Every structure is written in structure tokens, then in C-alpha cells.
């Protein structure tokens, strides 16, 4: 990892991952999955079980619930009690917040908490099954094998795909929203709006969560823009993005408006993005996009 270029390291990572399992010492890396929930009672238990049965003993799950009226917070709490500790770290815990305060605020609180508790890596992940559990080890492996501060589970690099349940119109809208933010901000991160992102702890500290402006979904864009501005390497690994089958999307007009305005705000404020898009790498690990 020290004497090879990031490119060689990424190629090695892909070889290791091709074996289907991370080496033991990598699998034990303290990794916290931060999962914001609002009315995800039908999704959360299955997601938690899928994550906690991965061959990743270092993985902990932190649910950030905004007092969901459907009782997601209590269900998560009960589930957490059933999962035992490993080597002193709780496998699952819940951060309860008093009111619905937006996806971005929930992530900021959860990621700060995870890093303060000693996580070496933090993974952002939705509770609705859109993000593939089977890719978690690969994201971690790529992060460990390279200098990447952020590894993006990407819908928009070669090999990335969108749910077949999405019609052409919705796919186009998603692509357009991604291109909109990326073009205004001049970044080469291909999936800048995506929400399945692995962060190295020092990268989380570098972006300074306390000063993040976005309350809602534009958090994803703002965080990656900040990462690039701080000179962190951003790598993208292709994923298949599934449509949610249970529960409802929390996307609303306010959230959409914030996402339209935020790229302009960030661009004109600078947001410490002096490095522009340099440092962003697209494509499979080992390729430059």
C-alpha cells in the first residue's frame, strides 16, 4: 500500500476482492454504517440482519431515526438489543432525534457520532434496500487498498445500473439531476448525487460536518464537493441501484428546491473547493475516468 501507485493498489484490491472475501485483518476494520430512517419499519429489520451477517466482524450499524411515527426507532432499538457486542464495540445502536429534520442533518449527526466513537470508516447507506449490501465489502476493500478518502457506490460509471422498475422518464430525471449538479460544480465525480458512499474517518473530519449547509438530499452533493475541494481522492465503484419495494420515498418539493439551489450556492461561495475537480477518479478501480 505504501510503495505502489494508487492504480496498482486498486488493481490489487480488485484481485483480492475477486476472491470474494476480504482478508481477515481488513474484515475486522472498525466500520460504521450510518443509516438514516424515517418510517422504514418494513425495511429496517431486514437491512440490519443482512448487514450484520456479512463476513465483516468490524462492521457496526448506527441507525439515525427522526422519531418515525411508524415506530422505526423502537423497532431498531429492540433489534439492537438482539445483536451482541464484538470486541467491545456494539454491533448496532440507534441515535434518536426528536423531529424530522432532513436526510442531510441526520447523516451529519450520525457520521460525527460514528467518527467520535472510533470508526475508521463510515458508510452512508439508505434503509430502503436501494443500496446493495453485497457491495459493502468491495467498497471497504477499495478504500483500504488505495488512497481514496471517499469511495462512491456509483450508478454512473461503466457497469453501474439503475433499477428496471424505473421508467425511461425517471432514469432520465435522475441522470439529469446528477449532470446538473456536476456541471455547475465542475467536478468529475460521476455520481455526485448518490447516497452510497464510504468515507475514511480523517476525510469526514476534513470536510467539517458542523459547517455543512444542506439539510436534505443535497448533502450528498455538498459532501463530495467538499471532499474534492480538500484534495481528497474520490473513487467510484459501479453498483446496481434498486427501487424501494416497501414504504414511501421522503423526497418532497422543499428537498428538490434545495437540490436545485445548492450547487449554485456552493459554486459561488467556493466552499473551499479551490482544487476544483482534480483528484476525482471515475470508472472501475484501477482506471481513470
Ligand X SMILES: Nc1nc2c(ncn2[C@@H]2O[C@H](COP(=O)(O)OP(=O)(O)O)[C@@H](O)[C@H]2O)c(=O)[nH]1
Applying CB under 6 A, the residues found at the interface with ligand X are: 36-38, 40, 64-66, 100-103, 106, 126-128, 130, 244, 249-251
Least distance to Mg ion, CB of residue 241, Å? 9
Least distance to Mg ion, CB of residue 250, Å? 8
Give whichever of 176 and 231 is closer to ligand X, judged by the CB atom: 176
Give whichever of 117 and 243 is closer to Mg ion, judged by the CB atom: 243
| CA dist., res. 123 & res. 270, Å (int) | 26
Least distance to ligand X, CB of residue 109, Å? 9
Least distance to Mg ion, CB of residue 110, Å? 17
| Cα 278 versus chain centre, distance | 21
Q: Coil, strand, or helix at residue 274?
A: coil
Please tell me the count of residues contacting Mg ion according to CB under 5 A: 4
Using the rule CB under 5 A, is 128 a contact of Mg ion? yes
| CA dist., res. 63 & res. 37, Å (int) | 7
Using the rule CB under 5 A, is 37 a contact of Mg ion? no
Do 242 and 133 touch, CB atoms closer than 8 A?
no
Q: Which does 282 bind (CB under 5 to 8 A by kind): ligand X, Mg ion, none?
A: none
Do 111 and 222 touch, CB atoms closer than 8 A?
no
CA-based nearest residue to 267, from 144, 151, 173, 183: 183
Q: Coil, strand, or helix at residue 15?
A: helix
Give whichever of 146 and 174 is closer to ligand X, judged by the CB atom: 174
Give whichever of 7 and 166 is closer to ligand X, judged by the CB atom: 166
Give whichever of 74 and 242 is closer to Mg ion, judged by the CB atom: 242
Using the rule CB under 5 A, is 130 a contact of Mg ion? yes
Do 271 and 187 touch, CB atoms closer than 8 A?
no
Grid cell digits, residue 234: 474520490
Least distance to ligand X, CB of residue 73, Å? 9
Q: What is the DSSP letter of 210?
A: G
Amino acid at each position: 500500500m505504501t510503495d505502489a501507485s494508487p492504480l496498482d493498489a486498486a488493481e490489487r484490491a480488485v484481485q483480492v476482492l475477486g476472491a470474494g472475501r476480504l482478508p481477515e485483518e481488513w474484515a475486522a476494520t472498525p466500520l460504521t454504517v450510518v443509516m438514516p430512517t424515517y418510517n422504514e419499519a418494513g425495511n429496517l429489520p431486514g437491512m440490519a440482519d443482512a448487514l450484520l451477517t456479512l463476513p465483516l466482524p468490524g462492521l457496526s450499524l448506527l441507525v439515525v431515526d427522526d422519531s418515525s411515527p411508524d415506530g422505526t426507532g423502537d423497532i431498531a432499538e429492540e433489534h439492537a438489543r438482539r445483536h451482541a457486542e464484538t470486541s467491545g464495540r456494539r454491533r448496532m445502536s440507534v441515535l434518536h432525534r426528536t423531529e424530522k429534520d432532513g436526510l442531510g442533518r441526520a447523516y451529519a449527526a450520525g457520521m460525527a457520532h460514528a467518527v467520535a466513537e472510533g470508526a475508521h470508516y463510515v458508510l452512508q447507506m439508505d434503509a430502503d434496500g436501494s443500496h446493495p449490501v453485497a457491495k459493502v465489502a468491495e467498497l471497504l476493500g477499495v478504500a483500504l487498498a488505495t488512497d481514496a478518502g471517499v469511495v462512491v457506490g456509483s450508478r454512473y460509471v461503466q457497469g453501474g445500473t439503475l433499477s428496471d422498475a424505473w421508467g425511461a422518464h425517471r432514469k432520465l430525471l435522475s441522470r439529469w439531476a446528477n449532470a446538473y449538479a456536476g456541471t455547475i460544480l465542475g467536478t468529475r465525480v460521476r455520481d455526485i448525487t448518490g447516497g452510497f458512499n464510504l468515507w475514511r474517518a480523517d476525510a469526514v473530519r476534513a470536510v467539517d460536518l458542523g459547517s455543512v449547509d444542506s439539510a436534505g438530499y443535497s448533502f450528498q452533493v455538498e459532501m463530495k464537493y467538499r471532499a474534492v475541494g480538500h484534495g481528497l481522492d474520490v473513487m467510484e465503484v459501479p453498483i446496481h441501484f434498486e427501487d424501494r419495494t416497501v414504504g414511501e420515498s421522503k423526497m418532497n418539493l422543499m428537498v428538490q428546491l434545495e437540490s436545485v439551489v445548492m450547487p449554485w450556492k456552493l459554486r459561488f461561495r467556493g466552499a473551499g473547493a479551490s482544487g476544483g475537480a482534480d483528484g476525482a477518479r471515475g470508472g472501475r478501480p484501477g482506471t481513470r475516468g
